[in-house]
Amino acid sequence: MGQVLSIDAGTTGVRAMTFGEDGRPLSRSYREITQHFPRPGWVEHDPQEIWEAVCATVQEALAGSGGPVAAVGVTNQRETVVAWDRRSGRPLQRALVWQDRRTAPRCAELDAGGHLPMIRHRTGLVLDPYFSSTKMEWLLTEGGVPAGPDLALGTVDSWVIWNLTGGPSGGLFVTDPSNASRTMLFDIRRGCWDEDLLGLFGVPVGALAEVRPSSGDLGRVKAASLPALADGTPVAGVAGDQQAALFGQACFDPGQAKNTYGTGSFVLINNGPTCPEPADGLLASVAWQLGPAPSVYAVEGSVFVTGAALQWLRDGLGIISDVAETEALAAACPDTEGVYFVPALTGLGSPWWDPDARGVVVGLSRGSGRAHLARAAVESMAFQTRDVIDTMTRAGCPPISVLRVDGGASVMELLLQIQADQLQVPVARATVAETTALGAAWLAGLGQGVWGSLDDLRRLWKPDVQVEPRITRGGADTRHAGWLRALERSRSWARSADLA
C-alpha cells in the first residue's frame, strides 16, 4: 500500500519520517526552529518558519525513502497557539508557545474568581498559563489580533493541516480531540467546544477548528501547497505529541503507561473509554478517537524539568561538557551518599503544581563531587516520575505492570534501572525511539487501512531493552523518603523569599 509519512512539529524543531508496513523507519529529516524570547517568561515561534520546516523536512524524507505515500500523520507540540487570517494565509502574530508564562496573572485572577472547579470538571485541566485558552484571550485583548470571520485560532496541528490541504485556497481548518482537550475550551465529556468557557475567555467559536477523529478523514493534500507530496494524498492521523507517543508505545489498553524523558517528562496512562474524575496534581485529557468509536482518555502528569537538569549541569555549572557524559559520570559512584537535587528550575509541575518552587541541592559534604551531583540529577528524573505514578495509583488509576519509556534520556540504562527500582515494575524502552512520530504514522495508517487493527500494531511494537527491579521495596522507599524531604525544601521558595 505504500509508506506512511509522519510530520512531527515539535517545540524545538520539525521532524519528518517515513515508515514501512512493518512499522520500521525508512527515512527521516529534522530541522530546528528559532526560539524567540522577547521578554522574561515569554516564548514565541514564527508560524511561517514552522511551515517552511515542514516543507523542507518532508521533501528530504521522501527523497530518502522513495515510493508512494499511502497516508500522512501529523503530531505537534501541544497548547501552542497560532493566529492567522484564513483569507490571506498570513500569521497575525508569532505563535505563543506552551512554555509561555505571560498569562500567569490572568490564571491567578480566574482562580480567585472561583472558576477552577468548573474548569477542572469540564476540561480535566488546572488553571495554568501552560494551556491555550488564556493565550488566545491575550492575543485578542492584548496582542492586536482582530476578531472577524477570517480569524483562525488554532494549535500547531491545525496550522500544518490547513497548509497541507491548500491554505487560503480551500485548506481545511481541523483538529482532533487530543489537541482540543488541551486548550481549556473543550468539554472532554461531551466532546465539543464549551459555550461557557468560550464566553469566559472571549474566544469566538467561529475562530476555532472543527474537531474530527484522530484517525480517519482529515483532508487531502494539495500538491500546490507541498509539491513533494502527490495531490490527493490523505491526511489521516493527528494527535498531540504526548498522546501520539502513548499510541506509538502501543499502550492501547487501560493501565498501560508510558513516560517520555525529554526536556521535561510526560507520564500518561491509558484510562480507557471512561473519563477520569479530576484528581489533585493530575490532568485528564482525550488520548485519541479512532473513527466513530468513543474517545479513549488518558491521565497525565507533566514534569517540567528532567533532561533540562542535565543541560543545566552542562551550561549552568560546567561540570560536564556534553549531556552524553552524564551516565558514565553518574555511574562512577554507587550512590549519591545522601545528596539530592530537586530540579525545580521553572517551578514544579505534576503532582505539586507549585510555580514558586525553586531548585535545591541538599546533603552536600566535603566528600561530595561531580559524580554525586550527576547521579542525583539522574535520580531526580526517576523520583519525579514515581511521584506522578504514585499519585495516579492513589487517584484510582489502574496499576501499571510495566512502564514503557522513550525520549532522549531513555538511552541511559542507569536511569532505567533506577526507575525500575523506584516503581518496582519493569521498565521497557521501545526499539523505535521516535514514538511520537510513530504514533502519528500508526494513526494515519490505521485510518487508511495500511494496518487493519490495533492487534496488527501491537505485533509491531518491540522492546529494545527491558530492565527489572534489583532492590527491595523497602530500599526504594528509603531513598524516596529522602527525596521527599529535599523536595519540601524547594516548595514555595520564591514566595517565601518575597516575604522575608
Residue 169 phi/psi, 5-degree rounding, is: -100, 55
Query: Is 122 inside any structural domain?
Result: yes
Provide the domain limits for residue 179: 3-248
Q: Which of 41, 142, 146, 160 is nearest to 101 (CA)?
A: 41
As given in the structure block, the three cell numbers for residue 74 are: 501529523
Q: Contact 323/314 with Cβ under 8 angstroms?
A: yes
How many domains would you assign to the chain? 1
Q: Which of 311, 306, 320 is nearest to 383 (CA)?
A: 306
As given in the structure block, the three cell numbers for residue 422 are: 523506584
CA distances from 173 to 8, 155, 349 (A): 18, 10, 32
Query: Is 472 inside any structural domain?
Result: no
As given in the structure block, the three cell numbers for residue 252 are: 492501547
Any bridge partners for residue 187, and if so which?
192
Distance between CA 430 and CA 436 in Å, rounded? 12
* Entry pTM: 0.89
Query: Is 146 inside any structural domain?
Result: yes
- Residue 11 is predicted with a pLDDT of 85
How many C-beta atoms lie closer than 10 Å to residue 321's C-beta? Answer: 8
Q: Contact 254/398 with Cβ under 8 angstroms?
A: yes
Task: Give the angle 172-175-176 at the CA atoms, nearest 5°.
Answer: 140
Q: How many CA atoms lie within 13 A of 470 on its CB side?
A: 8
Which residue do the cell numbers 510495566 mark?
A: 402
Query: Is 308 inside any structural domain?
Result: no
As given in the structure block, the three cell numbers for residue 241 are: 505529541
Q: What is the CATH number of the domain that holds 15?
A: 3.30.420.40
- Residues 6 or more apart in contact with residue 465 via CB below 8 angstroms: 413, 416, 428, 429
Query: Is 329 inside any structural domain?
Result: no
Q: Can the peptide bond before residue 234 be classed as cis, meaning omega within 30 degrees of 0?
A: no
Query: Is 336 inside any structural domain?
Result: no
Any bridge partners for residue 382, and if so which?
none
- Residue 122 is predicted with a pLDDT of 95
Which residue do the cell numbers 529529516 mark?
A: 29
- Residue 499 is predicted with a pLDDT of 42
Beta strands in 166-240 (DSSP E): 174-175, 186-187, 192-193, 210-211, 235-240
Query: Is 353 inside any structural domain?
Result: no
As given in the structure block, the three cell numbers for residue 16 are: 519528518
Helix (H) or strand (E) holding 265: strand 265-272
Distance between CA 396 and CA 392 in Å, rounded? 7
Q: Contact 8/240 with Cβ under 8 angstroms?
A: no
- Residue 175 is predicted with a pLDDT of 97
Residues in the chain, pLDDT under 50: 497, 499-500
Q: Which of 59, 53, 62 is nearest to 12 (CA)?
A: 53
How many C-beta atoms lie closer than 10 Å to residue 103's C-beta? Answer: 24
Query: Is 188 inside any structural domain?
Result: yes
- Residue 278 is predicted with a pLDDT of 79
What's the per-residue H, E or C state across 435-470? HHHHHHHHHHHHHCCCCCCHHHHHHHCCEEEEECCC
